Structure 1
Amino acid sequence: MTKQTARDGTRLRAGGQRAGGGRDWLRAATAVAAVGWGANQFAPLLLLYRAELNLSATTVNAAFGLYALGLIPGLLVGGPISDRFGRRRIMVPALFVSLLASALLVAGGDAGLGWLFAGRLVAGIASGAAFSSGAAWIKELSATGATGGANHGPRRVTVAMSAGFAGGPLVAGVLAQWAPLPTVLPYLPHLLLTALALSLAMRTGETRTPGRAAGLWQALRVPGVRARTFTTVVLPLAPWVFGSASIALAYLPGLVRDRLGGHALVFGAVVTTLSAVAGILVQPLARRMDDPHRPRRLIGTALTIVVAGLLVAAVAAASTQPAVVVVAVLVLGAGYGCCQVCGLQEVQRLARPDNLAGLTAIYQATSYLGFAAPFLLAALEPIASPGVLLVVVAALAALTLAWTTRRAGPAEDAEPTPSLRTDRELA
């Protein structure tokens, strides 16, 4: 049988039939999870670096924030380029870059702050390229065997990212707390997982072929960014994805640190993991609420959970009780998981095959603006108490809920999800 290529760049079997890659989506998901692991493993080590390298809180937070500085251009460049040249052609280099990031962080434990800054910046670049191309790759590979137009891609992407976000900080935090070489051993599991993910990714079928020759600027242009649903529903929703998650993992634990004694490091690791696990466990609810003809159901459910989580967080801030923080983290993590699925579903209904990763990248870049929430809340604490500030944030989430549910409409014009074949099946 001979290879053929559709106009949109996806692979076809002889006779022009589209098809899929079976369980290949699991291999692509492993790659996304490995990069997510590398992205979040640094979070529970912030207190460790403050002590080991005698750094101020501002300096450590700057190192943490450099991740976003690399992430956003990684998303905005990696997504459109993968639409043009292929998913695997972006994912495999992204995995190598993720390996490099952990190696730089290992060096930072002895060589100093500059290596930590470089490691976090490089980790952001790897994550941006991997998450944009990986989300599209999983979606395309998930089309295999889907019945009745089912779209499993957004939930699988969310689970893959959340699994990495959960595993990285938990393992790194435990190793940093109790294992020897606390600035080295926490990174070794990521190096091993990424090596495995590289092996799997290189054996996973490509779902797109290189497009026609074009200049870089043309390749980076993304059709669909001005669509009404994208600008009035997807973009307003997006910051609440990681806004809710970052408040849970970066802001709330600091409010109760005085009650944690010598277990602050492990508490931070556990809280980060619980947030991601809640994002996974909420997926059955997201699946039940998802209806392309009634998008208000999932949008309303997602943002209602975020509002509830912020109100519980306000109670936690007022009481400074670690147990209440854990409850707030679980609810906010569920809100993150629902919002992520909702945003990806809407993007994938709007996108065509030739702009899927690019449009996903713009959505994801907007979603990562939510990581600014903990820093803004901390900056405003001289004006109001944390509890009051969180109530104000809950009110903003409620306004977003009202706006997006009013603007969301049925997706009669949604493009059907094509089934795809990987190139191993084309011989």
Structure 2
Amino acid sequence: MMPHASARAGFWIVAAVFAATMAYSTVPTPLYPLYEQSDGFPVSLVTVIYSAYAVGVIVSLYLFGHISDWFGRRPMILIAVAISLVSGVMFLAWPETAGLVAARLVNGVSIGIMSATATAYLGEVRAVAAPTEKPAFAASVAGAANLGGLALGSLIGGAMAEVLPDPLVLPHVLFLVLLTVALVAVAAVPETVARPAKAPRYRPQKLSVPRANRSIFLVAAFGAFAGFAVFGLFSSLIPTFLGGEFEDRDHLLAGISVFAIFGASAVGQLALAGARLRTQLTVAVLACTVGLVGVATGAILVQIALFLGGGVIAGLGVGLLFRGAIGTSLAIAEPGHSGETVALLFLIAYLGPVIPVLAVGAGLSFAPPLAVLLVFVVLVLAATVSAGLIMRRRAAS
């Protein structure tokens, strides 16, 4: 068995690497308007670039998310970091439109592998480092590294774009250096999986829908899908909306906005971690309602504070809604199949930044941004609130 000290060090090293890898995935968000100016592509193409990332995550989770169970956590984390480094090189060497799509797709593959593997690693290694500690601590750190990294990346990208020269180069160079250091650090952490003498036959991730509770699972998955659509919209188009509708082209503000939305999601989950599922879903429904109405009202009145404040409140609600969807899925999963059920939930959730966001991009090619945004808000509001209320009623029964 690995020493406790080694396990403790491995826990925090992987948590930091997890956060850094996630952060790099949102660094390009405040840079999209600069890529638009440089390459001259329409705003609708931003949604294609962002959706390529989500597709990469989905494919990666399905094909590779479970391999670390027998291949080992450490080698798969190393592979995830290496793939992220490849995407960074692609951003620098191929900054044209096709290159951006390809780089985001590759980066998504990295995130899919890292999310599944690092989360499992943190739970296992923490059990060695602190055997009497409740598993909730490792889960909270994993969640903070995931959403906190997503929040920090946009802030770093926006800040560097605002105050430093070469904003399409230096952010990528910084993270190439950080991820190279991460590669070296992860190579030294202890392994938590004993490799079998003979590797099992490869198959994609097995997915499972609980037979007796398919309807409530579909509701939970629909809520996660709609919630991630909100994240996708803000992560891909908020800099463009700020520059177009509000005539504010401050890259730092764009980064801060996405940081605040993801940060609110993370803070909400941590703050209500001990609350009952029914309570969490109540807050989720209220926050989604107030937040999305605020986004729409701010867009109509051209009030940037109301628009962004609504986004932050909606982010809090979406985070709790997704946590509720996970709780609902775990509660109804068949014995021995919870991993398969949650994996399917994640795959459906990550379709949220693909299908609706691509639809928004298509709408922007023939309709004013305000009209497209309002239609999106109405649809997502109906979806998140209805899913949250049904899950809440199920949790109360």
Question: For the residues of structure 2 that align with 1:355 and 1:199, how far apart are their CA atoms?
Answer: 35
Match of 2:386 in 1: 399
1:320 counterpart letter in structure 2? V
1:403 counterpart letter in structure 2? I
Match of 2:173 in 1: 188
Calculate percent identity across the aligned residue pairs.
Answer: 23
Match of 1:77 in 2: 63
1:48 to partner: Cα distance: 0.6
Question: For the residues of structure 1 that align with 2:235 and 2:61, how far apart are their CA atoms?
Answer: 22
1:336 equivalenced with 2:321 (yes/no): no
1:141 counterpart letter in structure 2? V
2:145 to 160, 167, 182: 160
Question: For the residues of structure 1 that align with 2:183 and 2:316, how far apart are their CA atoms?
Answer: 30
Aligned length: 389
1:349 to partner: Cα distance: 7.0
Match of 1:202 in 2: 187
Question: For the residues of structure 2 that align with 1:233 and 1:26, how far apart are their CA atoms?
Answer: 36
In the superposition, relative to structure 1, how do residues 251 and 114 fare at CA in structure 2: closer, same or farther (>3 Å)?
A: closer
Question: For the residues of structure 2 that align with 1:88 and 1:76, how far apart are their CA atoms?
Answer: 19
Spell out, residue by residue over 1:343-389, the C-alpha distance to the aligned partner (whole angstroms, 9 max, x if none): 45566778899977665543322221221434434555759564354
Q: Provide the TM-score with structure 1 as the length reference.
A: 0.79
1:94 to partner: Cα distance: 0.6
Spell out, residue by residue over 1:220-276, the C-alpha distance to the aligned partner (whole angstroms, 9 max, x if none): 335676573883464233214422322334455544434644624333222111112
Q: Which has the higher helix share?
A: 2
1:313 to 270, 290, 295: 295
Spell out, residue by residue over 1:300-325, the C-alpha distance to the aligned partner (whole angstroms, 9 max, x if none): 33343223321222222221211112
1:33 to partner: Cα distance: 1.2
1:396 to partner: Cα distance: 2.0
Question: For the residues of structure 2 that align with 1:399 and 1:201, how far apart are their CA atoms?
Answer: 43
Match of 2:359 in 1: 376
1:391 counterpart letter in structure 2? V
Contact 1:158–1:341 (8 Å) recurs in 2: no
RMSD over aligned CA atoms reads: 3.4
Question: For the residues of structure 2 that align with 1:135 and 1:354, how far apart are their CA atoms?
Answer: 19
In the superposition, relative to structure 1, how do residues 286 and 227 fare at CA in structure 2: closer, same or farther (>3 Å)?
A: farther
Match of 1:116 in 2: 100
In the superposition, relative to structure 1, how do residues 142 and 203 fare at CA in structure 2: closer, same or farther (>3 Å)?
A: same
**In the TM superposition, what are the counterparts of 1:203-352 in structure 2 within 5 Å?**
203-211=188-196, 213-217=199-203, 220-222=205-207, 228=213, 231-232=217-218, 234-251=220-237, 254-258=240-244, 260-261=246-247, 263-289=249-275, 291=276, 295-344=277-326
Question: For the residues of structure 2 that align with 1:87 and 1:343, how far apart are their CA atoms?
Answer: 26
**More deviation, 129-138/375-384:** 375-384
Question: For the residues of structure 2 that align with 1:320 and 1:203, how far apart are their CA atoms?
Answer: 52
**More deviation, 159-168/228-237:** 228-237
1:136 to 93, 117, 120: 120
1:146 to partner: Cα distance: 6.6
Residue segments in structure 2 that go unaligned for 5+ positions in a row? none
SS at match of 2:81: helix
1:65 to partner: Cα distance: 2.1
Contact 1:255–1:317 (8 Å) recurs in 2: no
Spell out, residue by residue over 1:42-62, the C-alpha distance to the aligned partner (whole angstroms, 9 max, x if none): 111111111112223233432
Question: For the residues of structure 2 that align with 1:409 and 1:261, how far apart are their CA atoms?
Answer: 46
**More deviation, 392-401/120-129:** 392-401
Contact 1:37–1:190 (8 Å) recurs in 2: no
Q: Provide the TM-score with structure 2 as the length reference.
A: 0.84
